[in-house]
Amino acid sequence: MDRKQCCHYSTIIVVVLLLQSMIYFINAAEIEDNAFHSRESVNDTMYLRLDEAILSALEHNPAVSVQRLQVSISREEVKAEKAAFYPDLSASISKSKSEAERRVGSLREPVGVTDERNSYSLEVTEFIPTGTRITAGVTMDGAVSSLYSDQYVGRMGLTVTQALLQGINPTANLASLNQARLDIELSHAELNAIAQQVVFEVERAYWELYLSLQAVRIRQESVSLAERQVEETRQRIEVGKLPELELAAAEAELAARQVALLDAHNDLGRARLELTYLLNNPADSGWERFVKPLDEPVIPNDSIAPLEQHLELGMMYRPDLIQARIELKKGRIEVVRTRNGLLPRLDLFINLGGNSYAQSFKDAAPDFGTPYYDINGGLSLTLPTPGGRKAAEHRQTFLTVRERELLLDNMEQLLERDIRIAYLEVGSARDRIDATRVVRELQEANYAAELEKFRVGKSTNLQVALVQRNLTEAQLEEARTRVSYLTALASLYLSEGTLLERTGIEPLIDPE
């Protein structure tokens, strides 16, 4: 054996010793914990399908729950705004009594006078979006005096006030109500945006957990191959077909793969905790339960639609784009409302009344057939201050609408960019599936050939180890690519805003 080969094998021995020392000092509790969580017993494992994981997350996710409450709050705001156009009923009762002195006629001495007055009224007022305010009511006034005859007056009245300039536009009068209705749509859009993000995160975490399990399985198989290689190397050394230094290379590779397996277990633990957090199910046993995916990453046979179709869907369903359009509608309504505030206030009013007179409360009850009436009408004018606060509010609202229009245009461009990038990622991931499968098959054939060469003495442990590594990485890459395709597909659907529908979930709109 020459000096170069001696140095080569000495280096291998040093590496083996270092790796074995590293494994020895790894925390034993961590290894036991990973082994515990890898068991698939009924008591310790929750078997979960993807659709079950999604539904559980949507049911218990705090952000979704908060946004559901926001939808309910928006509905209550609409009810409050509608109440402005409901009739208002008002009633009043008043009584008064006074003791006074008065001089009457030619009497020298003042006379003591006692006056008692009673007043009753009942009115109904309603505001109509056309700028009309109608008030109808009845009143009863009675006066009982020790000096004069008792007198009771009953009145039926109708007052109509019609706005002629400011307040005549129904759109301006209904602005707050229409904006409150748009707030419900806004809350729904935000709820669906949050729900879609939750679904995407759950899908990604679910497949990451699946991939981590596959990585543990592949790494474990790799360790088993290395163990068999070590055992076979020992046997061949015993029969004199290999030098003893060959064992060092095999043991070094085994140690390296054991470390990689530990790393895979750690990745599995993190993936499990991530999915457990997203499920957020208080009825579950909590963080300690192991979650095992039941679904496989099945690749759809049908190809994705043309890019133009995804762009069109994005313009229709993307939640943040819907929200921006709703905000623009609210702004335009606000422009109408503030423009209405710049007009002079010119109101036409008419007041009609029928009066009944009697000396008793009963006889003075309001009567449609009474010959006594009163009528008055007129105009009232109020001029706003030029360049005042209302003018500034209108200018501010107009500029805000212009800002929202520009933001909407920019968001549409960003949406197209996002969908185009996601579309490319899906296509690239789909192409890699077949490529990685071919690579894995070739690596399997290469490993079988290299192993056979080793058994007939035409290869070394180092060469076998290298081929085994390539096979392991090819297996991991194939699994990783399938998961990457499904994640890229979910990302595309998230970008166009159709992830809920494509997952089989109706948009989250709470019933009234």
pLDDT at position 134 is 96
Confidence (pLDDT) at 460: 77
Q: Where in the chain is the domain with CATH 1.20.1600.10?
A: 8-76+177-330+401-503
User: What integer pLDDT is reported at residue 103 of this predicted model?
Assistant: 64
CATH number of 8-76+177-330+401-503: 3.40.1350.10, 1.20.1600.10, 1.10.1740.10, 3.10.20.90?
A: 1.20.1600.10
pLDDT of residue 184: 94
pLDDT at 336: 94
Rounded to 10 deg, the angle between the 245-279 and 28-38 helix axes is: 60
Element (H, E) at 315: helix 307-317
Q: Specify the pLDDT at position 287.
A: 73
User: Quick check: pTM over 0.85?
Assistant: no
**pLDDT for res 400:** 95
Residues 80/81/83/86 CA torsion (nearest 10 deg): -170
Q: What is the pLDDT of residues 147-192, one digit of tens each?
A: 667 788 888 999 999 999 999 999 999 999 999 999 999 999 999 9
Cα–Cα dist 476/464, whole Å: 18
Low-confidence ranges of the chain (pLDDT < 50): 1-10, 12-43, 511
Q: Which H or E run includes 202?
A: helix 175-238
Nearest to 484 by CA among 444, 438, 415, 431: 431
Pick the closest to residue 352 from 375, 322, 336 (CA basis).
375
Ranges of beta strands (E only) in 146-182 are 151-163
Q: What is the distance between the alpha carbons of residues 320 and 192, in angstroms, rounded to a whole number?
A: 10
Q: Give the per-residue pLDDT at 147.
A: 63
